[in-house]
A and B are shown apart, each in its own frame.
Chain A
Amino acid sequence: MTSGNVEDRIQKISSVIRVIPDFPKPGIMFQDITTLLLDTKAFKDCIDLFVERYKDKNISVVAGVEARGFIFGPPIALAIGAKFVPLRKPGKLPGEVIREEYSLEYGKDIMEMHVGAVNAGERAIIVDDLVATGGTLRAALNLLEHVGVEVVECACLIELPELKGRDRLGDKPLFVLVSASQS
């Protein structure tokens, strides 16, 4: 029994993502993945598509960005036999951390990772639900590269290509399932 070809599965995934206008503020079309999580087959297909891509690539680390990266990262990690490393907002991780500051549209934020979570030479993917400007992914990339990890790819369900997140990742590849327009 097959789970359907790639295009059919992506089409279904795209159709169950809910767009909420003017959230968190006027003019923004928010891509809500919670409706996908309510569709058991679409959620499973989504994870399977990532697992099929990464299972034979010797990935030992799946790093997930808080908080929606925590929903998609662990199932991928479990299926490919990799560790899961949470990348968190400041002050959440206990014990020793390394931190990376990054800019937002207005102001800055900080991302933290545990010291010792990853080892130099490990091969990693970074997972989040969506890539917009790429600022968050860039910070995650920097954190992992600072400790000698090879980031093989960034993986998101959704890309907002108009915000040019790909450009911020330099030569790092970005894999997405769905491309969404902001207009």
Chain B
Amino acid sequence: MSGFREEDPRINSIRTKIRVVPNFPKQGIDFLDITTLLLDPKVFKNTIDMFVERYKNKNISVVAGIEARGFIFGPPIALAIGAKFVPLRKPRKLPGEVISEEYTLEYGSDCLEMHVGAVQHSDRALVVDDLVATGGTLCAAMNLLERAGAEVVECACVIELPALKGRERLNGKPLYILVEYHS
């Protein structure tokens, strides 16, 4: 049996609404800009619907969104499937007690934080961001959730840059994406 799978008809308009901005944030990088997708209410709704259809019957109790563009896609998904939304933030933004996870960047490192008490052992979680590149941020997010005892069911992004092999950094956790970008 061939691996051919018909693409959902909504994918093409999602793909075409994403804007490629060359040389941002620096020379040689093609930036995948989802803000143009947000300007089309029907396509933005289709994007959310595709995630909701996938997750609504999977007993997901937590949607964790990565600051800042994960805050745009995560909450509508959480609301539609009846899950809590948990923001994962840059250091010192969340008030009160947090746990932190450091992760490496191309140059240097960064840190992601989650509130203590946001998730419990019984929680089944999704991690949501607009894009997966090297997978470093998603990996840090998964670590935070697992350290707090939650089960990460899947990572979900609108866009993947497969050349940067982010999938391999997810310790075998599944990754679901809508659009691939090949430069």
Binding site for B on A (CB under 8 A): 18, 20, 23-24, 30, 32, 34, 37-40, 43-44, 47, 66-68, 70-72, 74-75, 77-78, 81-86, 88, 91-95, 114, 117
Contact present for B72 and A74 (CB under 8 Å):
yes
Contact present for B83 and A40 (CB under 8 Å):
yes
Cβ contacts under 8 Å, A40 to chain B:
78-79, 82-84
Binding site for A on B (CB under 8 A): 19, 21, 24-25, 31, 33, 35, 38-41, 44-45, 48, 67-69, 71-73, 75-76, 78-79, 82-87, 89, 92-96, 115, 118
Contact present for B96 and A32 (CB under 8 Å):
yes
Contact present for B87 and A43 (CB under 8 Å):
no
Shortest Cβ gap from B87 to chain A (Å):
6
Contact present for A70 and B25 (CB under 8 Å):
no
Cα(A82)–Cα(B38), bound, Å: 9
- When A38-B118, A91-B25, A114-B35 are in contact, do A47 and B68 touch as well, CB less than 8 Å? no
- When A77-B44, A83-B41 are in contact, do A37 and B68 touch as well, CB less than 8 Å? no
CB within 8 Å: A-B pair count: 103
- When A32-B95, A34-B87, A94-B31 are in contact, do A74 and B38 touch as well, CB less than 8 Å? yes
Cβ contacts under 8 Å, B33 to chain A:
94-95
Cβ contacts under 8 Å, A66 to chain B:
68
Contact present for B75 and A74 (CB under 8 Å):
yes
Cα(A94)–Cα(B35), bound, Å: 9
Cβ contacts under 8 Å, B82 to chain A:
40
Contact sample, A vs B, 7 pairs, CB 8 Å cutoff: A20-B95, A30-B95, A43-B75, A43-B78, A74-B73, A86-B38, A117-B39
Cα(A75)–Cα(B76), bound, Å: 5
Contact present for B44 and A78 (CB under 8 Å):
yes
Q: Residue on B with the closest CB to A44?
A: B79
- When A37-B86, A95-B33 are in contact, do A67 and B68 touch as well, CB less than 8 Å? yes
Partner of B35, one of A37, A38, A72, A117: A117
Cβ contacts under 8 Å, B48 to chain A:
78
Cα(A44)–Cα(B94), bound, Å: 22
Contact present for B25 and A38 (CB under 8 Å):
no
Cα(A67)–Cα(B69), bound, Å: 9
Shortest Cβ gap from B43 to chain A (Å):
10
Cα(A47)–Cα(B83), bound, Å: 15
Partner of B118, one of A34, A43, A67, A95: A34
Cα(A44)–Cα(B80), bound, Å: 9
Please list the 6 inter-chain residue pairs (A to B) with the smallest Cβ-Cβ separation, ordered nearest first.
A94-B21, A70-B71, A20-B95, A94-B24, A23-B95, A37-B85
Contact present for A37 and B84 (CB under 8 Å):
yes
Q: Residue on A with the closest CB to B45?
A: A78
Shortest Cβ gap from A28 to chain B (Å):
10
Q: Residue on A with the closest CB to B40?
A: A83
Cβ contacts under 8 Å, B75 to chain A:
37, 43, 71-72, 74-75
Cα(A91)–Cα(B25), bound, Å: 8
Q: Residue on B with the closest CB to A21?
A: B95
